[in-house]
Structure 1
Amino acid sequence: MTQEQYILAAQPNPLHQRGASVCGTQVYPAVGIYGWRKRCLYFFILLLLVTMIVNLALTIWILKVMNFTPDGMGNLRVTKEGVRLEGVSEFLLPLYVKEIQSRRVRPHWLQSSLTRPVSFFSSYNDMLCQQITGISGVKAQCQRFEVRSTDGEKVLFSADEEEISIGTEKLRVTGNEGVVFSHSVETSHVRAEPFQDLKLESPTRTLTLEAPRGVEVNAGVGDFTASCRKDLLLQSSEGEIFLDANTIRLGSIPLGSAVDPLEGAPAGTTYTKQTVYELCACANGKLYLSPAEKGSTCQTTSNFCLWS
């Protein structure tokens, strides 16, 4: 045996140390994790499985509670026309939208808690409208406020700094005391409900009816009464005042007096036995009665106009 063969034979063979030969077959020992390492590995695998099951269950529960659907979540639905909210929705932060519209058969509610205002801004961050809802009432601050019809073409009500316009065909006031206007009112027709009286009244000021083409007062069935504390003025700048009735009565008209130069009757003589009188008018428009004769006696009884 050479020296190299002796050295190789003397060195230990690692294959002989790791396994033994049984009947000419090489046998190796089993390789794995045993003991507490194996138990820890199984415990972590079991814990991971439980965590996955709990996570999946919580995910399904959240999807069920929040009502997630392919169209949205909860009260929120995403449609072709935009975003639709059903039921009561609360926004804790500002909401930026172009248009807010309710369903045709449902009312539209905008509510702010603790009397906080609901503000509307433009794209340039300019406040367009601000609405404050409280216990005492509702306040809105905007340049112009409009209420339109269902089709959006006709303006039913509009208000701005200069005027308030009502575009409906009929404005009905159902209060017992009627309606009170602090300033002038412009309208083409004022009438009461059927079988109800129409009353225009100014308790402490003057009541004036003006129109460029005339004022018509018509009581088709009932009576027309005009009463005042001082003067009742009927004035026509270009036309005439026309009173058309079967009977026109003017009560409490004074009787004129005259001085007859032929008989020497004193001034202030009245005609007490006269039963038919003539209606005369002074230059200032006041009316008085004069005894009716063949000719007019207004000139002879015009002494009333001197002291009236």
Structure 2
Amino acid sequence: MMMTQEQYILAAQPNHLQRPACAAAYPVGIYGWRKRCLYFFVLLLLVTMIVNLALTIWILKVMNFTVDGMGDLRITKQGVRLEGVSEFLLPLYVKEIQSRKDSPLVLQSDRNVTVNARNDLGQLTGQLTVGSEMVEAQCQRFEVRSNDGGKVLFSADEEEVSIGVEKLRVTGTEGVVFGHSVETPHIRAEPFQDLKLESPTRTLTMEAPKGVEISANVGDFKASCRKDLLVQSSEGEIFLNANTIRLGTSAWDAGGPAGACTKQTVYELCVCPSGKLYLSPAGTGSTCQSTSTICLWS
């Protein structure tokens, strides 16, 4: 093989250039303290997961979680059902509270039990408070209805109190005390009991636009007072209908107006056989016989 002169010269000259050496090989992975820390955190995470799972299972077991609810709480199609004693520490908002068919509904509190009703704006419209000393209701109108809900047995508002029952019975020994007037079409006592209308310190007045009827079908009628007994008819007459009308030692005062004279004349009321009444001057005894000639004129 023939080489040129230039190729020979280049081949004969020494080469001072060094070839690049191969790069050093480094191991791939985590070693040393980093590896130990990673294993420690993985182990700690595993222990935390096991403890969390154990606590979750324990809570589910203690609280009695089921598919239908939790503990005494059951979720049904009709709503939420509570069995046993339930305690609420915060306000409870429900549409309806209903007990089981075979047990009553009991609302119990160490203090007062209060039921509030509010409108759409949150304003209080009605309140019922059951306390240890009294039951208080705050509302525009309070009503007590019958079992079917059709008849109002008792109602009260700011203007009047209405009792819708056929008979109002008061069993107290002192009867009923009214501070002001009473309006009623009929007052009747219980069978075989006396009816007594009494005003111990004031005047007892009975008024009616068409008349006042007082009847005692079996017993006696008695009207007594400490001072004056006034029976007055402004337009009609006073009619006493009885087999016998007896006026005992009573005397009728026919004197003039009060203060007209210092001494008023007292008369005795007499009755003729025909029923005519006339006055006779009162004396120590009856004076009707001495003035009986008046009956001859009737």
TM-score grouping bracket, smaller chain normalisation: 0.5 to 0.7
Residue type of the alignment partner of 1:252: T
Give the TM-score normalised by structure 1.
0.60
Residue type of the alignment partner of 2:158: E
Contact persistence 1:71–1:79 (CA under 8 A)? no
Post-superposition CA distance 1:60-100 (Å, at most 9, x none): 32125xxx6637863676554x6666666554444445566
Distance 1:256 1:114 in 2: 66
Give the TM-score normalised by structure 2.
0.62
Distance 1:117 1:56, change over 3 A: closer
- The Cα of 1:106 is off from its aligned counterpart by 6.7
Query: Which of 212, 218, 221 is 1:221 aligned to?
Result: 218
- The Cα of 1:226 is off from its aligned counterpart by 1.0
Q: Residue in 2 aligned with 1:280? A: 278
Distance 1:237 1:92 in 2: 69
Q: Is 1:156 equivalent to 2:153 in the alignment?
A: yes
Distance 1:97 1:40, change over 3 A: closer
Contact persistence 1:279–1:290 (CA under 8 A)? no
Q: Is 1:74 equivalent to 2:72 in the alignment?
A: yes
**Runs of 5+ consecutive residues of structure 1 not aligned to the other structure:** 1-10, 15-34, 258-267, 283-287, 299-308
Distance 1:70 1:84, change over 3 A: closer
Q: Residue in 2 aligned with 1:58? A: 59
Equivalences for residues 109-120 of structure 1 within 5 A: 114=111, 118-120=115-117
Post-superposition CA distance 1:90-123 (Å, at most 9, x none): 5444444556667788766666654586543222
- The Cα of 1:152 is off from its aligned counterpart by 2.0
Q: Residue in 1 aligned with 2:193? A: 196
Identity %: 53
RMSD: 4.6
Distance 1:175 1:245 in 2: 34
- The Cα of 1:193 is off from its aligned counterpart by 2.2
| Greater relative contact order structure (CA < 8 Å, 6+ sep) | 1
Contact persistence 1:75–1:89 (CA under 8 A)? no
Deviates more, 1:186-195 or 1:174-183: 186-195
Distance 1:52 1:110, change over 3 A: closer
**SS at 2:225 equivalent:** coil
Distance 2:118 2:70 in 1: 27
Distance 1:78 1:281 in 2: 90
Count residues with an aligned counterpart: 246
Distance 1:240 1:279, change over 3 A: closer
**SS at 2:63 equivalent:** helix
Residue type of the alignment partner of 2:292: E
Distance 1:225 1:134 in 2: 46
